[in-house]
Amino acid sequence: MKQSICAPEDKNEKMICILLSTFNGANYLSAQLDSLLNQTCQEWTLMVRDDGSHDCTLEILDDYAQRDSRITILPRGESLGAAGSYLTLLLAAPEADYYAFCDQDDVWLPDKLTRSIQALAGLMDSPAMYCSSLFLVDRNLNPLGRSRRHSRGPSFENALIQNIATGCTLTLNVAAVRLIRKRMPLTNRIVMHDWWCYLVISAFGHVIFDPSPTLYYRQHEENQIGELPGISFWRNRFRRFCLKSEKGLLTRQVSEFFSCWSIFLPKKKAVYLERVIQVMGEKKVVRRFCLLMAMRLQRQTILDTLLFRLLLLFGYYHATDSIARARPENPDGRDKFVSDLEMRSFSLWQENQDIKQRHTPVGCTSETED
């Protein structure tokens, strides 16, 4: 078994729970799983949830699970889509020190896990999240370039209107996961699970963006959300803008965040959030223009910011069902509101407890002594 160098300076090994949702991923899944097995950090478990594959994805997963007892496959459930499936995994996951999202079609660099937990090592007592840049490759792993640079860096203000945290690069510490679990969103009111995590942790904790790539990010026609280089990026974005399902979704996500978390926000962030909702919900163009001019809504680049402001001004983000209401706070700190996702996930969590009792994950020898 491969020796681990997760944290050579730390004599207490930190367990990482990797969360993988699959859907018809047979063409690329083996390469991704092999890259997990080749990590310099081997103190991990892998929890997999399949979202309704009808190719041989499950057969591939079963084969790897039989060879490595660190891999757990959740019982097959209904199709939830990417966001719902990953948030279900986040709720059902066993206790760990860190949690890392994993896509089915990428290839991780060998030190991906090591770098992420070393970056988060000093933030164990507060919610913290790590994300990174990526190497863009085609379906055959031929290089296409690197992901776009983010000159402004992560912030709560940025997270309200833009996501810079690509899901497959995310690693969350246990404090971050416990926070996210407290108030889960309605999944039809958020853009994606990674954006929701970025939004919550930027509001209440620390977000670290690593400009050095940690994986090879495949770009192919089956991508749900990709990041093609050059003119292809803008062509792909234009196609998404034309989708009826995309219109107003960002406003619904901001409204959902307000409903879940506004009563806990520091005053400055709460006021800013209310102003963003006000400008997004304003029906009159002239009034929306005045509100927009009074705010510093900025994405990572000047061009992105300009396009966002124009789309906002002409009503692209307007959603009639986005009235924000704060949910009542539960005296014991747990929200009384139970989302559709939590209802589905509770039974999965119970099944996972039974699985944990039947299987003890096999760890690896560390280079440090206890």
205 in the same domain as 284: no
**Of 296, 303, 299, which Cα lies nearest the Cα of 151?**
299
pLDDT at 356 over 60: no
Residues 128, 181 share a domain: yes
pLDDT of residue 248: 80
Interval 218-256: pLDDT, tens = 996 655 555 555 555 555 555 555 554 556 889 999 999
pLDDT of the residue at 358 = 45
Question: What is the per-residue pLDDT for 311?
Answer: 86
Based on the fold, state whether residues 213 and 344 are members of the same structural domain. Answer: yes
Interatomic CA distance for residues 370 and 366, integer angstroms: 9
CB 22 within 8 A of CB 61: yes
Q: Are residues 252 and 352 in the same domain?
A: no
Segment 265-289 shows an average pLDDT of 91
pLDDT at 290 over 90: no
Q: Please report the pLDDT score of residue 331 as a whole number.
A: 39
Strands 143-146 and 135-137: antiparallel
Predicted pLDDT of residue 228:
53
**Confidence band for 4, pLDDT divided at 50, 70 and 90:** low
Tell me, yes or no, whether 328 lies in a domain. Answer: no
**Residues 282-294, buried b or exposed e (16+ Cβ, 10 A)?**
beeeeebbebbee
Instruction: Pick the range with the lowest mean pLDDT from 16-20, 134-138, 144-148, 227-231.
Output: 227-231
Q: How many domains does the chain have?
A: 2
For the ranges 26-40, 158-172, 186-200, 243-257, which has the lowest average pLDDT?
Answer: 243-257
Q: Give the residue-averaged pLDDT of 56-78.
A: 96
Q: For residue 60, what are the domain limits?
A: 16-228+337-358
Domain match, 167 and 308 both? no
| Same domain? 218 vs 354 | yes
Tokens of residue 303, six digits: 């061009």
Residue 58 lies in a domain: yes
State whether 285 and 177 are in the same domain. no
Cα separations (Å) of 362 from 171, 211, 351, 366? 21, 33, 20, 13
Task: Let me know whether 103 and 244 are in one domain.
Answer: no
Q: What is the pLDDT of residue 314?
A: 84
The number of helices, as runs of H, and strands, as runs of E, in the chain is 13, 11
The reported pLDDT for the residue numbered 49 is 98
CATH code for the domain of 137: 3.90.550.10
3-class secondary structure, 316 = coil
Confidence (pLDDT) at 316:
79
User: Could you tell me if residue 4 is inside a domain?
Assistant: no
One domain for residues 64 and 92: yes
Dist. CA 106–CA 298, nearest whole Å: 30
Looking at the domain assignment, is residue 235 inside a domain?
A: no
Q: Check: pTM over 0.85? Answer yes or no.
A: no
pLDDT > 90: percent of the chain: 59
Q: With respect to residue 323, please indicate whether it lies within any of the assigned structural domains.
A: no
Indicate if 80 and 154 belong to the same structural domain: yes
Residues 90 and 37 in one domain: yes
Q: What is the mean pLDDT of the chain?
A: 83
User: Residue 3 has which token pair?
Assistant: 């020796």
pLDDT digits (tens, 9 = 90+) for 304-348: 888 888 888 888 777 655 555 555 554 343 343 345 554 555 455
- Residue with the bigger pLDDT between 305 and 88: it is 88
- Same-domain status, 52 and 128: yes
Q: Is residue 365, in this structure, part of any structural domain at all?
A: no
